[in-house]
Amino acid sequence: MLRNLFYAFPPSMRYWVRRIYYLPTDIYEGATGKRHPLQPPKGIIYTGSGDYLKESYKRLEQLKKHCELKSSSHILDIGSGIGRIAVPLTEYLDHSGKYEGFDVVKLGVDWCKKNISSQFPQFNFRYIPLMNDLYRSDGADPATFRFPYDDNSFDSCVVNSVFTHMVPEEVSHYMSELSRVLKKGGKGIVTFFIYDDNYNPDTIKSYDFQFRYDYEHYRLMDKKVKSANVAYKENYLKNELLQKNGLKEIKRINGFWPTGKRRHEIDDFQDVVFIEKT
Ligand SMILES: C[S@@+](CC[C@H](N)C(=O)[O-])C[C@H]1O[C@@H](n2cnc3c(N)ncnc32)[C@H](O)[C@@H]1O
C-alpha cells in the first residue's frame, strides 16, 4: 500500500517525500555523529530502504570471495546510485585499482563526486540522462546507449538492484555492452528477480513481491510504472541475457523474495547471480 502511494508521486516529488520522512532521523544522526563519514543521510538515499552499509560491505566480501576481486582490479558499477557499492571499495582498491560508475540520477552522481571522487581520484562517476520511469520523467533510450568505455577494459562488475528496475530490451542491450567492456574471464555480480514456470503470485504472501503482470518472459509488479520492479524468467536469463552475450552463471544465491520471509538479517531479497565472461 505504502509503495503504491509512493509511486503515485512523480519522480521529482518522491525525493521530497523521502527527505521529509527521514528528516528527524537525519538530524539526530547528524547531530550525534552516528553516521559513517561516507554514508549519505537517509533522506537522500533514493536507492532503497535496506541497511546501506551492511549491504555495501556484503557485496565487497562477495566480490572478493566469488569474483576474484583484487585491490588492483578495474571495476564497473552500472547504476552506481548514491555510492553503496563504491563506499567499501574506497577501503579496498589501491592506487592501481580503478572504479567507474554511471547512473541516470544526477543527485546520486553529484553526491558521489563530491564525497568520494574528491578523496579517491581513482573513483569516477558519470551522470548519463537516460529514461527510467521509476527515477526520471525524461531521458534518452537506454536500449541504444553505448557504454563510454573501451572493449575488454574491466576485470569485474556490479549491477546491484538495477536490472530489477529495467525492461527486457534495455537489460538485453546492457548485457551485451557489459560483455563488450568486460575482459575475458572477468567476473561480477548481477541481481535479478528470477522466476520459473511454477511461479504464482497468489502463493506469495508479501504484496511487495507479487509480480502480477505476465509478459511471457518477464513480469511487472506495476503496469503504470513499468520499471518499478521487473522479474525475469529463468530460461530468458540463461539463454537470451547470459549465453547469447558470451556470459555464464558461476554461482547463485537465491533471494528470499519468493517466500517473503527473511531468514537472516543479512539475506538478500533479490537473487544474486555471479557471472563470468567466457
Ligand atoms: C535500487 S537503485 C540501486 C543503486 C545501486 N546499484 C545500489 O546498489 O545502491 C537502482 C539504480 O539504478 C539506476 N538506473 C536506472 N536505470 C538505469 C539505467 N538505464 N542505467 C544506469 N542506471 C540506471 C537508478 O538511477 C538507481 O540509482
The burial class, CB within 10 Å (0-12 / 13-18 / 19+), for 170 is buried
**Cell 548514491, residue?**
82
Compute the mean pLDDT over every residue in the chain, rounded to the nearest whole number.
93
Hey, what domains does the chain have and what are their CATH numbers? 48-277 (3.40.50.150)
Q: What is the pLDDT of residues 173-198, one digit of tens each?
A: 999 999 999 999 999 999 999 999 99
Residue 134 CA, closest ligand 1 atom number: 15
Nearest CA to ligand 1 atom 19: 142
Residue 52 Cα: closest atom of ligand 1: 9
Provide the grid cell at 203. 502463493
Q: Are the C-beta atoms of 180 and 151 separated by less than 8 Å?
A: yes
Which among 59, 103, 131, 257 is the best mutation to test ligand 1's pocket, defined by most ligand atoms within 8 Å of the CB? 103
Ligand 1 pocket at CB < 6 A: 47-48, 78-79, 81, 84-85, 102-105, 108, 130, 132, 135, 142, 160-162, 165-166, 170
* Of residues 189, 179, 129, 183, the one with CA closest to residue 159: 189
32 CA to middle of ligand 1, Å? 30
Q: What is the pLDDT of residue 246?
A: 98
Mean pLDDT by groups of 10 residues along the chain of 278 residues? 70 83 90 88 88 93 98 98 97 97 97 97 98 93 98 98 97 98 98 94 81 95 91 97 98 89 78 98
How far does residue 79's CA lie from ligand 1's centre (Å)?
4
pTM for the predicted model, two decimal places: 0.94
> What pLDDT sits at residue 18?
86
Q: How far apart are the first and last CA of the chain?
A: 43
Q: Which pLDDT belongs to residue 2?
A: 65
pLDDT at 8: 74
Predicted local distance difference test score (pLDDT) of residue 129: 98
